[in-house]
């Protein structure tokens, strides 16, 4: 019994540590980030495996479901229209078709 409680406690601590590492203002599971270009967006992991991200650009308010893609450094997500790349506590967002930058140096305010 003690073993189960210890394992559950360790799992809970690990989950909290993972969430704390992202920083930022969180509301309803959403994390708010602002970019160097002043573009702002909210994002959140949809599942525990962090294979899907919801991304909501402040400019249009649409919620996009981005799937994780292979990346050499950090985490990269896309839905074929928008790409979101996370490295450490910063991010980059851009439109794929025209390779148009939405924002770089994005992070929690």
pLDDT at 40: 97
Is 80 within 8 Å of 96 (Cβ atoms)?
A: yes
Q: pLDDT tens digits for 28-71?
A: 789 999 999 999 999 999 999 999 999 999 999 899 999 999 99
* Cα distance between residue 58 and residue 63, in whole Å: 10
Domains for the chain: give ranges and CATH numbers.
24-106 (2.40.128)
pTM over 0.85: no
Question: What's the pLDDT band for 25 if we cut at 50, 70, 90?
Answer: low
Q: pLDDT tens digits for 2-12?
A: 444 334 333 33
């Amino acid at each position: 019994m003690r073993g189960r409680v210890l394992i559950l406690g360790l799992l809970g601590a690990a989950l909290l540590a993972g969430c704390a590492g992202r920083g930022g203002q969180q509301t309803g599971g959403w994390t708010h980030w602002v970019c160097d270009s002043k573009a702002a967006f909210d994002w959140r992991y949809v599942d525990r495996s962090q294979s899907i991200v919801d991304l909501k650009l402040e400019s249009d308010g649409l919620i996009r479901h981005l799937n994780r893609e292979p990346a050499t450094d950090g985490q990269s997500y896309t839905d074929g229209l928008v790409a979101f790349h996370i490295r450490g506590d910063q991010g980059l967002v851009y439109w794929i078709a025209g390779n148009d930058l939405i924002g770089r140096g994005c992070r929690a305010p």
